[in-house]
Structure 1
Amino acid sequence: MLRETLKGARSLLTGMKVTFKHAFKKPVTSQYPRERIEMSAAYRNVITLVEKEETGSHDCIDCGACVRVCPSFCIKVEGERPEGMKRKRATLFEVDFALCSECGLCLDVCPTDTLGYSREYDQAGYGRNDFLYDLLIPWRDREESVRDKLRLAEAEKAAAKKATAAKAAAAKKAKQEAEAAASDATDGAPPKKAGDDG
């Protein structure tokens, strides 16, 4: 009986120790929505398109990998191949966050790493349509300037590739000419005799 009483008292003291420890700490309160907490880099929430430094825009090429892998069937992507460009650009990237399970499979399969997690944590709405987002909205107004930048980058890359190929062809031709000249020089020389050293 005494043993059980002591065991209960020790358990009570342990609980009171935790209570008193936290009772005198300053409360963690934020005046939401005036104060917003900055979430950590590892925070996983809804998906978003990541801005690439080179272009100042997303790099979605409308490959459809995210659409195919999504278990919730909540992603819809449409795109076009802009004039003068090899790669496609997305014109619509719609996600229904009412259906999204935030599994992250779309991030894993994205070949251009243009999908990432948003740090927003307060999505709210009154109906299902409030959770239907077009992720391209932040980039719509600068899409033409980005396309011009991408066209220029593709043209520079093609010119560099062409110059490298021309340089390689010239080097190959020079090597073949040198080998042919060396072959002609050895053909014109008298044959060596068996006892000659030099």
Structure 2
Amino acid sequence: MSPDTTEEKRNTAYVAAGIAHPRIVLLNQTLNRAGYPIFSATAPSVGVRVDRRIGPHTRVGATGQAYLWGSGISQTGRATTLQGGYGLLTVGYEFRPLSALPALRITPRVGAGAGLLQLRISGVASSVTEALLSPESSSGSTIRRRSLLVSAGGTVEYHLFRNTAAHLRLGLEGGYLAAPSSTAWGIDGRTSSPGPDAGLGGPFVHLVIGRSW
């Protein structure tokens, strides 16, 4: 039997696409009361990850995801755009669950990092409530909330072309993102203000494809 050269490939770069379910229920309620369109509680997401193998099983890396909600227009013609994204440092333990399928890998993984939830609306304000109710303005307002994030999850992958230069990994990643600490909302970089309890925490599922070298 030829040796398994998969173990010699230390680095992997991934692209990922999927969905997430962040905590925006209370933000949507505030938007709805102010006459703005609400955003889907399930957000499409895209991102990248880079891993490096250390030893026979440990993988350390970094990942980043962006949420793609898009924009909406209120009945008064004022626009709202919701955006979000995060970056994490991760560590995982990769193993083979089945000897009959040596190309199959499972990697439980945890991570920690930071994220940003951002709402842009037409109108300048000094508080979140005022921002949602303010007159139209060409300059607009941007409301931001930053969070400390931790994650727990895992990836199931199948290795393709393992013994060639085009060593690919195709898999499914899932987990949960929690926000143990968040700032108050900030208005255009000015003094923070109270607002709805919303953030990027919640479950996620990604389809991932990577190349190892």
For the aligned pair, the TM-score class normalised by the smaller chain equals under 0.3
TM-score after normalising by structure 2? 0.22
TM-score after normalising by structure 1? 0.24
- Structure (1 or 2) with the larger CA radius of gyration: 1
The structure where helix makes up a greater share of residues is 1
Higher RCO by CA contacts (8 Å cutoff, separation 6 or greater): 2
